[in-house]
Structure 1
Amino acid sequence: MLMERVDIIGGGIAGLALAGRLDPGRFDVTVYEQRPELPAVGTTLAMWPAAQRALAELGILGAVRSRGSIIKAGALRSPSGDPMLSMEGEGLVGVSRPELLRLLDSAVPDTVSRVAGRVDRLPSDAWLTVGADGVKSIVRRDFWGERSAARPTPFLAVRGVIPGTPSAEDVGEYWGRGEIFGLAPAGDGTNWYASYRSALGPDGVDVAEALELTRTRYAKYSPAVRSVLSTAAPGNSLAQRIWTTPPLRRYAQGNVVLLGDAAHAMTPNLGRGACEALIDAVNLGKLLNEQPLKEALAAYNRERVLRTQLLRLASSLMGGVALAQGAQPWRDALVKQIGKRSKRTASRSVT
């Protein structure tokens, strides 16, 4: 049987998931990844139910649940730590990015070829070329043009995982004036993240410098936030500019297709980027396994473009609210009012 050649550019979440979902008896798959080995440092990702179903199709949901943590509840908080709005997280599973990548890597068949190193020129003559190479995708640039180039936001993301689990009274997202800070359990550790406007970058952000700037910015936040930042170190932290992609009307054209951040990179405010990358990959793999190429890519466009573009927009809008500066007092008053109404509604339903 003649094997169809599939070149996957990018061996992150989307690329590995697709390699693990494609039928090894039908496809000759090669994954190109510039990173020589899987990362050792990374923050916790929340797996929503649809992403968990994708993990189940890859055969690794049980392992993700056993090595991750259940996300139950938190709160939107003021900088001092006072809760403004309770948030329930039933049904969500948290897993570190390095652990998720290791499990996805284990789901890739041995028949898949691996090529390490940066791809500056795309391989030619593939039956299908897949751009799973992130927000600065060369596949998107080469086939969708310069107008599709990634765009830096004004915001820096600084994050990490430290030892020790946080108190339930401290878990949640702290909203300040033009800045946010989040705390959540991550197995036996604490996942934390901060985002704010910064002139650092946009590329090659020095982690130590970013941490020092973050400690200064959050010096008047709650003791829990200050304690986390005092423990954070360059070895267990990451710092980078947040980039996004412009809207795209289609993710597939000809025999080229985009997945994950290459197609719809969004701000992290909804926590959906990794989830949607998984769903992209599993859906595309299933379609390619069952349908001819043209029909499969047309179905992928129908299933994924509108949903992910709406999430990209919603995430951007949420980021604008969370990182509000001049409108911060009105924003906080609205959040508190929503919280009070939610409590009254819950109280009436109990009685």
Structure 2
Amino acid sequence: MEKQHITIIGGGIAGLTTAIALKRIGHTVSVFEAAPHLRPVGAGISLGPNAINAFAALDLKQALLGRGRLVRTFHILDHRGGILTRTQVPSDLGPGVLCIHRADLHAFLLEQLDPKELHTDRRVASLVQDHEGVTVRFTDGGEHHAALLIAADGIRSAVRRCVLPRVQPRYAGYAAWRGVVHLPGMGDIASETWGPRGRFGIVPLADDHVYWFATSNALENDARFAAFRIADLQRHFAGYHTTVRQVLAHASDEHLIQGGIHDLPPLEHFAHGRVLLIGDAAHATTPNMGQGACQAIEDAVLLAHYLHNTPDATTAFRAFEQDRMPRTSWVVRNSRTIGGVGQWQHPLAIALRNALIRRVPPRIGQRRFDLANNVRFPHIPAVSEPGLEKTTSTRTRMAVHH
């Protein structure tokens, strides 16, 4: 399709990666972020082989790999530290999972864009579509017009409220805490501990840092858990194995992040005229498969692919929707199931679960990992590259999930 100006709402991972991908195929972009400053919210993040392959399609893989730590082995443990199951990243899937501080990933994405394309402190009030494009109106009274609008503004998307006002995030049933500590000597294995007080994850990052997260069953907006500090978490997980207690001993209240875990029910459509929902605005998932950011990055690359290889936006959006809806629904559904099982609290249920997990052949868990991560993407040619021919192949080695 012909090159156009495109509005992107949201300056997080989804929005910035989309801006990079769309600029690469010749479109101009304006990114609008509601926050006063482009500061990432979060701690660590894991980018699976699928996300790394998506960045490879943008010729950014090698530059990105140096920003984090590659991990190939993942353990699920019981609360005493015994191994329930192991997952390995097969060599044919690439160098591993890139574990990176969210701030470092955000900074990397910002480096690929012109600051003039980024606009902060702009909150969406309403949208108006016509045959020429989309006009977004902001709460400060300003407005912006473009041919297309990509909504990448997260699980509580203001754009989604305009086109799907009845859709609301759904609570997963547990609260979460996150942080990053400096803790040398933790090795190259990521782990998640499942026990009677909730789950505790430990993920190695670059420069001897460790990303940790914890979950506990809670009512939505539970004031008691919202007030938890590190000392409370230390008491809460006091019966867990030594490594959990060691990580919490190095954690501080200053950088503690707390919040409930939500996802989105499957939407009937991502495309609404000249407006397209992507990332968490379209298919927010619980974090149990480490696929939230990965799916947003996949969105960005495949959107660029379809816009480059179809005659008009309507056709591109339809193709994108048909491609992405089965896969993202599979991720949301499986991630929610994993989280539910991991949050069991009753001692008998936990004993049964752990016994069953230990008896399940490793290939079963490995298959789920492969389905989520074993994806290849067509190269997205830059406008400056010779022979900007259309790329007719889409993803390869990708199963359709229902």
Contiguous gaps of at least 5 residues in structure 2:
91-95, 128-135, 138-144, 365-402
Q: Give the aligned residue type for 2:350.
A: Q
**SS of residue in 2 equivalent to 1:23:** helix
Instruction: Report the TM-score when normalising by structure 1.
Output: 0.88
Deviation at residue 229 of structure 1 after TM alignment:
1.1
Q: Give the aligned residue type for 1:332.
A: N
Q: Distance in 1 between matches of 2:275 and 2:294?
A: 22
User: Cα RMSD over matched residues?
Assistant: 2.6
Q: Give the aligned residue type for 1:311.
A: V
Query: Could you tell me which residue of structure 1 aligns to residue 357 of structure 2?
Result: 335
Contact 1:160 1:236 in 2 (8 A): yes
Over 3 Å counting, the alpha-carbon distance change for 1:227 and 1:41 in structure 2 is farther
Asked if 1:116 corresponds to 2:121, the answer is yes
Counting aligned pairs with the same residue, the percent is 32
Q: Of the candidates 164, 175, 189, which is equivalent to residue 209 of structure 2?
A: 189
Deviation at residue 64 of structure 1 after TM alignment:
1.8
Asked if 1:277 corresponds to 2:282, the answer is no
**SS of residue in 1 equivalent to 2:62:** helix
What are the superposed Cα offsets for residues 214-239 of structure 1, whole Å, 9 maximum, x if unpaired?
22220111121112112211223211
Deviation at residue 302 of structure 1 after TM alignment:
1.1
Asked if 1:220 corresponds to 2:242, the answer is no
Contact 1:60 1:104 in 2 (8 A): no
Q: How does 1:74-85 map to 2 (within 5 A)?
A: 74-85=74-85
Residue range with higher mean Cα deviation, 85-94 or 264-273: 85-94
Query: Could you tell me which residue of structure 2 aligns to residue 262 of structure 1?
Result: 281
Q: Distance in 2 between matches of 1:307 and 1:238?
A: 29
Asked if 1:229 corresponds to 2:225, the answer is no
Contact 1:181 1:194 in 2 (8 A): yes
Deviation at residue 28 of structure 1 after TM alignment:
3.5
What are the superposed Cα offsets for residues 41-87 of structure 1, whole Å, 9 maximum, x if unpaired?
63322212221121123333222211111112132111111222222
Contiguous gaps of at least 5 residues in structure 1:
343-351
Q: Of the candidates 241, 265, 289, which is equivalent to residue 246 of structure 1?
A: 265
Residue range with higher mean Cα deviation, 125-134 or 260-269: 125-134
Query: Could you tell me which residue of structure 2 aligns to residue 312 of structure 1?
Result: 332
What are the superposed Cα offsets for residues 215-273 of structure 1, whole Å, 9 maximum, x if unpaired?
22201111211121122112232111111111112211211111111111111111101
Q: Distance in 2 between matches of 1:198 and 1:230?
A: 24
Q: Give the aligned residue type for 1:253.
A: H
Q: Distance in 2 between matches of 1:222 and 1:253?
A: 50
Over 3 Å counting, the alpha-carbon distance change for 1:23 and 1:319 in structure 2 is same
Q: Give the aligned residue type for 1:232.
A: A
Contact 1:247 1:309 in 2 (8 A): yes
What are the superposed Cα offsets for residues 275-297 of structure 1, whole Å, 9 maximum, x if unpaired?
00000011112222332111110
Deviation at residue 170 of structure 1 after TM alignment:
7.6
Deviation at residue 29 of structure 1 after TM alignment:
1.6
Greater fraction helix: 1
Deviation at residue 150 of structure 1 after TM alignment:
1.4
Query: Could you tell me which residue of structure 1 aligns to residue 151 of structure 2?
Result: 131
Q: Distance in 2 between matches of 1:229 and 1:179?
A: 15
**SS of residue in 1 equivalent to 2:124:** coil
**SS of residue in 1 equivalent to 2:23:** coil
Query: Could you tell me which residue of structure 1 aligns to residue 192 of structure 2?
Result: 173
Instruction: Report the TM-score when normalising by structure 2.
Output: 0.77
Asked if 1:296 corresponds to 2:316, the answer is yes
Asked if 1:95 corresponds to 2:117, the answer is no
Contact 1:38 1:102 in 2 (8 A): no
**SS of residue in 2 equivalent to 1:329:** helix
Query: Could you tell me which residue of structure 1 aligns to residue 53 of structure 2?
Result: 53
What are the superposed Cα offsets for residues 89-145 of structure 1, whole Å, 9 maximum, x if unpaired?
352221211111111111224663424333333416432111101011111121022
Query: Could you tell me which residue of structure 1 aligns to residue 17 of structure 2?
Result: 17
**SS of residue in 2 equivalent to 1:93:** strand
Over 3 Å counting, the alpha-carbon distance change for 1:185 and 1:304 in structure 2 is same
Q: Distance in 2 between matches of 1:40 and 1:46?
A: 15
Deviation at residue 339 of structure 1 after TM alignment:
6.6
Deviation at residue 334 of structure 1 after TM alignment:
0.7
Over 3 Å counting, the alpha-carbon distance change for 1:121 and 1:176 in structure 2 is same
What are the superposed Cα offsets for residues 173-209 of structure 1, whole Å, 9 maximum, x if unpaired?
1101261111121112111111111247379x85x62
Q: Give the aligned residue type for 2:6.
A: V
Residue range with higher mean Cα deviation, 322-331 or 85-94: 85-94
Contact 1:42 1:237 in 2 (8 A): no
Contact 1:47 1:93 in 2 (8 A): yes
Asked if 1:211 corresponds to 2:233, the answer is no
